[in-house]
Structure 1
Amino acid sequence: MNAEPRTTVVNILVTKTLEIDEPAWCADPHNGAQFKPDVTHNGPEIAASFETQLGTVDYLRAWISHAPYASLAPEPLPVVCIELDADTVSLEPEAVRQFTAATRRHLDALDRLADEADRIRGGGQ
């Protein structure tokens, strides 16, 4: 039996907190971020809503997003994300008119979101 002490190499994961700048418009708690490239700043979500016989349908969700540290495709400036859903509803003509009115209101909100993203990209927070 060999009396000399033995050693081995073990890979361990060491974690520490990382302080990063948080834009004023960010509403994301960043709970899922474990590494710096995971950090994405997301602003408050807006969505168009329309009432049907089956309940409320939310569509055209949108928010400002910025992933400045993403490893594959870093976003140098904030962008507007728009989620398009594949739900299908059948509507009577008057309901279609109500739907288009709701969509027009949401499109105005999307324009305001684009203006806010332009303001943020211009250097203001």
Structure 2
Amino acid sequence: MSTEPRTVTVNVLVTKALEIDEPDWCVDPHTGANFRPDIAHNGPEIAASFETRIGTVDYLRAWISHAPYAALAPEPLPVIAVEVDAEAVSLDPDGVRAFTATTRAHLDALDRLADEADRIRGGGQG
């Protein structure tokens, strides 16, 4: 048996603060990122809201997002994240017309968001 001390290599998780560039449009507090690939910059959220007799339904939420260190597919430029939350409501014909009017207004807001993303990316139609 050898009298020399033995060594072993053990992988450990080491954490430290990481300073990154923050885009001027980002409003994310960055509290949920434990690893570099978790870092995402997120802009202000827009959502279509529609009042029903049982309460407010938010749908078609969207925001500008950029995950520069994403593990599987790093995003070289900001994208637009769109979240569709399926919630069924019953509407009469006037309610459907109000819903479609609200949706049309929100689609215009989505177009403005696309223009802003083009501006941030440095080109496009914005």
**TM-score scaled by length of structure 1:** 0.88
The match for 1:63 is 63
Q: Distance in 1 between matches of 2:52 and 2:113?
A: 26
Aligned with 2:107: secondary structure? helix
| Unaligned segments of structure 2, at least 5 residues | none
What aligned pairs does 1:42-57 form with structure 2 within 5 A after superposition?
A: 42-57=42-57
Aligned 8 A contact 2:26 2:43 in 1 = yes
Aligned 8 A contact 2:80 2:114 in 1 = yes
Instruction: Answer 1 or 2: higher relative contact order, Cα 8 Å, separation at least 6.
Output: 1
Q: Percent of counterpart pairs with the same letter?
A: 76
What aligned pairs does 1:1-125 form with structure 2 within 5 A after superposition?
A: 6=5, 8-9=7-8, 10-122=10-122
Q: Distance in 2 between matches of 1:66 and 1:12?
A: 29
Deviations 1:66-96 (A, max 9, x none): 1111110111110111111221111001111
**TM-score scaled by length of structure 2:** 0.88
Q: Distance in 1 between matches of 2:44 and 2:78?
A: 13
| Unaligned segments of structure 1, at least 5 residues | none
* Matched pairs, number: 121
Aligned with 1:65: secondary structure? strand
Q: For the aligned residues, what is the CA RMSD?
A: 1.6
